[in-house]
Chain A
Amino acid sequence: MDETVKKYTTRREFFKQYKKKSRLQETWNRFLRNKLAVIGLFIIVFIMLAAVAAPLIANYDTDAIRINVPDRLQSPSAKHIFGTDEVGRDIMARIVHGARISLVVGCAAIAVALFIGGALGAIAGYSGGKIDDVIMRCMDVFLCLPDVLLALAIVAAFGTNLVNLTVAIGLAFTPKFSRVVRSAVMTVRGVEYVEAARTIGATNTQIITNHVLINCFGPIMVQVTLYVASAILTIAALSFIGLGIQAPIPEWGNMLASGRVYMRDHAYIVMAPGLAIFLTILSLNLLGDGLRDALDPRLK
């Protein structure tokens, strides 16, 4: 008895080496071979960990918000790794708590864009014809304004709080996603399994959500990664010109804006926030490019 079980497991081990690797695994292996993409993944995971662990690194109320004038404008030291800002707050504490804001607002905005733009793009790409024309011409109009300006206009009209900002940036990125999803949907629209689903009586909604969108997941994820980078940059940009996240909430863009007055004598004050934005954008760009190459090896 014992022997047969043992034989069985060894036989399975034997066949395992001939088993075809799954597509996901192949993609993952290709991704791992791309050094830059792996570096990008490391950096963004590091930033995410810092954001999650922010309360452990520094207390939000006492270190990142409370004004502490006696400690103002201190150069980097062991106590304050990145120094202190113009009212004595620890820049390190504000950077890690700022990471939470940037990442959450950036991802939430792209979720809004993906939801609205994705729905519109899927409908346009799947139906084609007049519906496609109407939706896409509307989206083209929005694409005439750069996303910073569109977000600016929306924030100007509805005011600058966290929710409005998220929605504004989300809406500003909606047309881009509608195009991405539309073209992805159009590539799988005519394939056999969609025909098959229709033959067995699936509704249009079922076909779009269960068959079409699932198969467009890869290229859409690539764009999500790249656009989260742009969204985070847009948040920082709006905050930098004073129309985004308002002081005293720590955000990288508004830290740069308030620090720039003091940068002539205290250059370190603009280094850490700028570097944080730069590394986040860079890592997401590397990750997105890596994902694209891994998903579609022909492009390389």
Chain B
Amino acid sequence: MNKAAFYDLDGTLLSCNLVTMQAYYARNHRSVLKSAYQFTKVLVSVPLFFGLDLYSRSLFNIFSFRAYRGMHRDRLIGLADDLFEVTLKPSIFPQAETLIDTTRELGYRNVLVTGTLDFQVRPIALHFGIDEIICNRLEFKNHIATGRVLPPLLAENEKARSIREYAAEENIDLTQSCAFSDSSADLPMLSAVGQPVATNPTRRLRRVAVEKNWPILELRETSTNFPPFLSVAKVH
């Protein structure tokens, strides 16, 4: 039986701030004038997004994908590398790469399980050398984004379901596998594996982790102690 390491992305390995990503697309419009207009629109909408996030997470998600409405798929794919360089790469946590290398050396198959969109995940996965991705996809009509996500929307229970399905297909023992996430929304995914690790946990997740005696990992700091089942490898 193989074992796998499942990684959440946003907040776990890096902080991909939605507003900076939207601002990026606005700034890089085809025409300079339109860029300025779009950028102002994003600036105006910042407080709105902030309020929405406080009010309801799922509404926030729906609105955040709506921001892609009307964008051409070619442009989303064509700008993905630049988006990564500009907004994502600087926000990777200092210990993220070490962690991923460690799990790889220990024989885990690294898999990204994330709600982020496929074209944005690609350069990140290449950067970390992760070969397998489970992620969301935008819906397109005639190459233009409709602003909706193709079902099933990858979040909460759906993440747990998809890793179970993956494990069944790829002959992976979930009890031997580990998962990393920062948010209590990923509790189903964390509970599905034998070695869950609360990584840069939010307050709620920290509480649950302490209760269930799960290891807690801080990747944001420049030096951190990996949980025992990972640090074994370092001795070898």
Q: Do A and B bind each other?
A: no
Interface residues of A (CB under 8 A from B): none
Interface residues of B (CB under 8 A from A): none
